[in-house]
Chain A
């Protein structure tokens, strides 16, 4: 059933559930707000009001529960409507809990010598978070707005953070040994507010459940930055920090998944927020890839637009990135993964092949990023030099010359559906199932497959890991991809594969330097690009079909 129909048909309004539900939310909101007022100004009659309202809220909860469970409501409903009812039930229970905590807070007040003692701590920010999330509940469920639901979910994290700060302050004070009773009571009060956050997370998840029809566990919330360029980059890493690199990079994913027992029906999800056009593109790309090669991309559970920003809810895929496999030196994994990957690429590329020639414009792509490269490495402009009769060119002049060569070589004779950002950390291998998945597909399109190959090779090369055991595998992976590409070109009768790969590598070597601040390593990459450009220039006049790349240039 389509989202809006739920509203129109008013399955719920027939039985008055929606009215009860709205009332419940309003009452809980009032309860929380009044509790805050009592804490602000402990004198007054509000306390009694809160206790009375608690009974009313309990009644409302039972009423909604009864209607959800025992009415004949469920007789003729489809799954989506049943999901909605289930969600309402969950939300109701959690809202009632929040109201209970309000009462608990009030009853703690009597243990404070001075009710104003609590003002030492930032309970106000906690209330702010709770009340602003409560405001979103009714509307986000009614509109099935996953964006809003996620806002509710995320408030739990913020509430936890604020609580943690206050907790620390209280502990510091406790160590001084004064006002112990007051401090412990304050801690209880703040703890109830923190628990309200947990209920809000349950509420947010229930709304998402109603929206997508599956019980999802939020594994990873990712905010896309405005510049999509930064996505594949995780900051400079050095040889010494592999351990922390492993932890920080994939830690957030793993922690959330492994930290909790997984229920049977739960699917992990990743939530991405970002600009509408980019996420819309990713959504389209995923649909297209799914058609060509089912299971390769993640499933899309929801897509929401909200003005200029949008959010997408993606399946959290099981598996390990190739990059992680490399860093962990998991040789068995790497062998199997590469076999499956090249098999899948062959399949995807053959199926998606369109015979119209296509031009990737590698040197233009390089020129578009040249300012960033020079900003990171001003000396990479390379002055023109002369050694005796031998002259070398500046980087700009080299690129100019190579641009001309690119025109001579021409584009690819056909296009395939490429990944578009084919880094080794955008490829997952699920060893148990033996399947490959692609992630981060916002740049996928029909293009020259050589672009994916060169990006893949460079994402190996540029890993700043120089431990020889790991480096050996990195080099092997780059060479495997090269060999596969060569074979694919041969099968598809693509005569200029090597020459175009040289161009793709020039692009990737050059542009990768802007993220590498280890001067020596960045230089190595630039000099390889220069080497390839000089190689192409020296080859001019001969048939491009016979140009070959020295394998050594692909490995470090």
Chain B
């Protein structure tokens, strides 16, 4: 079963901290909640995490993607793997 959460926003280099910090705290505590009123997705990162960092500049569009993935304990979840991908909005370079 797929559980998915998406959120898009525009931030600046200052306000983006709120999001990054919240995620960092989540990794530290071993529990991150992604939710709306209707639906909650709780992830519990532990053990080994795959981390891939990609940066790219094409014309004037710049993209940094950080992908963190892991496989959950088969006991605690039904099956499959959850993927968390953090993609900051496109930021222009002046």
The interface of chain A, by Cβ under 8 A from chain B, is 383-390, 392, 523, 527-528, 530-531, 534-535, 538, 550, 552
B53 at the interface (CB under 8 A from A): no
| Contact between chains at A527 and B10 (CB < 8 Å) | yes
| Contact between chains at A388 and B26 (CB < 8 Å) | yes
| Contact between chains at B8 and A527 (CB < 8 Å) | yes
Selected A-B contacts with CB under 8 Å, 13 pairs: A385-B7, A386-B34, A387-B32, A388-B23, A389-B26, A390-B21, A523-B8, A527-B10, A528-B10, A531-B10, A531-B11, A531-B15, A535-B15
The interface of chain B, by Cβ under 8 A from chain A, is 5, 7-12, 15, 18-19, 21-23, 25-26, 32-38, 92
In the complex, chain B residues whose CB is within 8 Å of the CB of A527: 8-10
Among candidates A388, A392, A534, residue contacting B25 with C-beta atoms closer than 8 Å: A388
CA distance A357 to B75 in the complex (A): 66
A534 nearest in chain B by CB position: B15
| Contact between chains at A388 and B22 (CB < 8 Å) | yes
| Contact between chains at A387 and B23 (CB < 8 Å) | yes
Q: Which of B32, B34, B36 has the most CB of A within 10 A?
A: B36
CA distance A550 to B12 in the complex (A): 9
B14 nearest in chain A by CB position: A538
| Contact between chains at B35 and A390 (CB < 8 Å) | no
In the complex, chain B residues whose CB is within 8 Å of the CB of A535: 15
A531-B12, A534-B15 known; 9 other A-B pairs, CB under 8 Å?
Answer: A384-B36, A385-B5, A385-B35, A387-B7, A387-B32, A389-B22, A392-B9, A528-B10, A531-B11
In the complex, chain B residues whose CB is within 8 Å of the CB of A523: 8
Among candidates B8, B22, B38, residue contacting A390 with C-beta atoms closer than 8 Å: B22
B23 nearest in chain A by CB position: A388
Q: A388-B25, A538-B15, A552-B92 are in contact. Are A383 and B9 (CB under 8 A)?
A: no
CA distance A388 to B19 in the complex (A): 8
In the complex, chain A residues whose CB is within 8 Å of the CB of B12: 531, 550, 552
Min C-beta distance of B29 to chain A, whole Å: 9
B43 nearest in chain A by CB position: A388
Q: A389-B22, A389-B25, A390-B18 are in contact. Are A530 and B9 (CB under 8 A)?
A: yes
Q: Which of B9, B11, B25, B38 has the most CB of A within 10 A?
A: B9
Q: Which of B7, B23, B26 has the most CB of A within 10 A?
A: B7
CA distance A410 to B48 in the complex (A): 53
Min C-beta distance of A367 to chain B, whole Å: 22
| Contact between chains at A387 and B34 (CB < 8 Å) | yes
Min C-beta distance of A495 to chain B, whole Å: 23
| Contact between chains at B10 and A387 (CB < 8 Å) | no
Among candidates A387, A550, A552, residue contacting B19 with C-beta atoms closer than 8 Å: A387
CA distance A528 to B32 in the complex (A): 27
In the complex, chain B residues whose CB is within 8 Å of the CB of A392: 7, 9
Min C-beta distance of B93 to chain A, whole Å: 11
A394 nearest in chain B by CB position: B37
| Contact between chains at B9 and A388 (CB < 8 Å) | no
Min C-beta distance of A554 to chain B, whole Å: 13
| Contact between chains at A387 and B22 (CB < 8 Å) | yes
| Contact between chains at B22 and A383 (CB < 8 Å) | no
B29 nearest in chain A by CB position: A388
In the complex, chain A residues whose CB is within 8 Å of the CB of B36: 383-386
Min C-beta distance of A6 to chain B, whole Å: 64
CA distance A552 to B23 in the complex (A): 26
In the complex, chain A residues whose CB is within 8 Å of the CB of B32: 387-388
CA distance A523 to B9 in the complex (A): 9
| Contact between chains at B37 and A383 (CB < 8 Å) | yes
In the complex, chain B residues whose CB is within 8 Å of the CB of A389: 22, 25-26
CA distance A527 to B7 in the complex (A): 11
CA distance A392 to B19 in the complex (A): 10
CA distance A43 to B9 in the complex (A): 80
Min C-beta distance of A280 to chain B, whole Å: 43
In the complex, chain B residues whose CB is within 8 Å of the CB of A388: 22-23, 25-26, 32-33
A529 nearest in chain B by CB position: B10
CA distance A204 to B8 in the complex (A): 59
CA distance A392 to B35 in the complex (A): 10
CA distance A527 to B92 in the complex (A): 16
B9 nearest in chain A by CB position: A527
Min C-beta distance of A180 to chain B, whole Å: 65
In the complex, chain B residues whose CB is within 8 Å of the CB of A390: 18-19, 21-22
Among candidates B5, B9, B23, residue contacting A531 with C-beta atoms closer than 8 Å: B9
CA distance A330 to B30 in the complex (A): 58
CA distance A528 to B8 in the complex (A): 11
CA distance A41 to B42 in the complex (A): 87
Min C-beta distance of A492 to chain B, whole Å: 29
A388 nearest in chain B by CB position: B22
In the complex, chain A residues whose CB is within 8 Å of the CB of B23: 387-388
| Contact between chains at B37 and A384 (CB < 8 Å) | yes
Min C-beta distance of A421 to chain B, whole Å: 27
B32 nearest in chain A by CB position: A388
Q: A385-B36, A388-B32 are in contact. Are A530 and B22 (CB under 8 A)?
A: no
A551 nearest in chain B by CB position: B94
Among candidates A383, A530, A550, residue contacting B38 with C-beta atoms closer than 8 Å: A383
